[in-house]
Structure 1
Amino acid sequence: MKNDALPALKALDAPDALDPSGFERLLATRASCRGFLPTPLPRPLIERILAATQRTASWNNTQPWQVIVTDAPATESLRQALQSQQPEPAGFEIPPPAEYRGVYLERRRACGWGLYAAVGVAKGDREASQRQANENFRMFGAPHLALLTSDKALGTYGVLDCGGWVNNFLLAAASHGVATIAQAALAQRSAFLRRWFGIPEDRTIVCGISFGYADTAHPANSFRTPRAPLAEVVRWVDQ
């Protein structure tokens, strides 16, 4: 059977079609930003990042993601509303981890203490740690937010596809010098966000991504998390 897509794909088979070292540098240098400049991004730049991210693979090409993107004034209005909101019980629409244990607990603790060390939060200082946690609901000063939802009927695999979208957005943004941080914390305020944006009931709130230009002088942005060596995460089967 003739495959009309094959001629278009041949270019990708050429050894010089892509630059693996460039992609590897992008992966190595991208990091979560926890301090942004207020400078808004040009709309065409945001659209270019979104267009690249739209190439994300999904089960049966369902593309379950829908994204609400706020411009700087809308982000500021949301930021003020989140700050003035009375605390509510965590309202995740996707169940959070039941437990962190073993190496996962160790990595989580290392991440937390590394961030606290960078911003000067001492161990046991609950007031300071709460202030830092509340930065999530300020979107760390970012001028833009992308709030991601999935089709509820597509369940776990729809959310999994959205995870691929999130990762590609982070990398596409980084390729343009735009800083990002993916925030499950915002999904805790799902009821508020659903009302604020008029999100229909057939959508599941997955997470937010705050983005903009990084404040390179912010101490939180000096912090980097390590990655486990391959030996810890890969099991080879030879025969």
Structure 2
Amino acid sequence: MTTAEAVERAIRARRAIRAFRPDPVDPALLRRLIDLAAQAPSGTNMQPWKLRVIGPQARTRLETALLAALEAGERPGTEEYRYYPERFREPYLSRRRKVGWDLYGLLGVAKGDIEGMKRQTAANLRFFDAPVALMVTIDRDLEIGSWLDLGMFVQNLLIAAQGHGLDSCPQAIFAQFHPVVRRELAIPEDEVVVCGIAIGKADPDAPANRLVPEREPVENFTTWLD
């Protein structure tokens, strides 16, 4: 396999995995993946990303607190940043609805099944039982350019993991529970909780892992200028 083929395979194979096997990830490999991710470009080499690798004790505390908040019907505080538009419009509304109901269809969660949705949210807050749990933050006073740089860091990490035979899932849900995350992981107020990342080996028998979101053809979003 050529270098180009290997890179393309990693990019095309990567997708959000929502159920993991318990197989541990070698800490040396994880460190290597993080180092690879940090080769991402950033404006004037600011390297604005911050990452926490959540060990067993901290993870137990975090997940216990998050699940307690969920059980109490709480989503503590508002999101620290607006991930989605205030009002969805086409074509984004249809894409969002399709991937959501495709996932819930695989999970056997019907429309209006509040308990089923709650179970999936709980799985999300447990990092889908992945052996590696990460939390991504960025300094609060940085601007949108640094957020773009952060996104490239995250993508590098996901692709690097895929290239080394690991699966992953970036998880924005933790931004909704940022007061709990901040308290349990001792994250200072001057950092924004951006997302979590789960890394490990996909459970091949899990229905959720059969989801393959559709991608728009190049012609739908590209303008070729003469």
Q: TM-score, normalised by structure 1?
A: 0.87
The answer to whether 1:174 aligns with 2:158 is no
Output the amino acid matched with 1:187: A
Contact 1:179 1:213 in 2 (8 A): yes
Structure 2 unaligned runs (5+)?
A: none
1:66 matched residue in structure 2? 50
1:147 matched residue in structure 2? 135
**Paired residue total:** 222
CA distance in 2, matches of 1:140, 1:96: 21
CA distance in 1, matches of 2:26, 2:56: 10
Alignment of 1:146-165 (within 5 A): 146-165=134-153
**Identity in percent:** 37
Shift of 1:176: 1.0
Quote the RMSD (CA, aligned, Å). Answer: 1.7
1:80 matched residue in structure 2? 64
Structure 1 unaligned runs (5+)?
A: 1-15
CA distance in 2, matches of 1:91, 1:234: 35
CA distance in 1, matches of 2:9, 2:134: 25
SS at 1:81 equivalent: helix
CA distance in 2, matches of 1:193, 1:71: 14
CA distance in 2, matches of 1:73, 1:142: 15
**Which of 106, 120, 126 is the equivalent residue of 2:94?**
106
2:177 matched residue in structure 1? 189
CA distance in 2, matches of 1:90, 1:231: 41
Alignment of 1:1-239 (within 5 A): 19-85=3-69, 86=72, 87-97=74-84, 98-238=86-226
Shift of 1:73: 4.5
Q: TM-score, normalised by structure 2?
A: 0.92
Name whichever of 26-35 and 197-206 sits farther off: 197-206
CA deviation map 1:123-174 (0-9, x unaligned): 3323212322332112111122111111222122222211111111110111
Decide which structure has the larger Cα Rg and report it. 1
SS at 1:26 equivalent: helix
Shift of 1:113: 1.0
Contact 2:132 2:199 in 1 (8 A): yes
Contact 2:166 2:199 in 1 (8 A): yes
SS at 1:35 equivalent: coil
Shift of 1:198: 1.3
Contact 1:40 1:71 in 2 (8 A): no
Contact 1:71 1:143 in 2 (8 A): no
**Greater RCO structure (CA 8 Å; 6+ sep):** 2
Output the amino acid matched with 2:78: G
